[in-house]
Amino acid sequence: MRSMRDSALDDLDGVDVLQDFEPMLLELDAREMSEAANEAERDSVWLECNGELLDAASVDPVEVRNSACGFKTLAFICPRCNEPHESVRFR
């Protein structure tokens, strides 16, 4: 009887798993940012600098985070003051 190493894993000798999966991981990162931008088109954000509620599609998103409470927080560059802001996304 052959062992697992002899049969199933013979084809994996010399395979660099990180190198093989890197293009897929980069594509997933790009897809997540695209989905975040599409979601932002339906949302509004609060500007810390002047208290204005603004359409989320009109800001440049930097990062989208999920809080422990389940809220989505958008980090963005404010179009009014050009400073980084962070706001809960409102629907």
Question: Per-residue pLDDT for 71 more than 90?
Answer: no
Ordered by start, the domain boundaries in the chain are 16-88
Dist. CA 35–CA 10, nearest whole Å: 39
Query: Number of helices (H) and strands (E), helices first, in the chain?
Result: 2, 5
For residue 15, name the pLDDT band (cuts at 50, 70, 90): low
Dist. CA 43–CA 18, nearest whole Å: 36
Q: How does DSSP classify residue 82?
A: -
Question: pTM here?
Answer: 0.49
Assigned token pair, 29:
């990162």
Dist. CA 85–CA 26, nearest whole Å: 26
Dist. CA 78–CA 51, nearest whole Å: 12
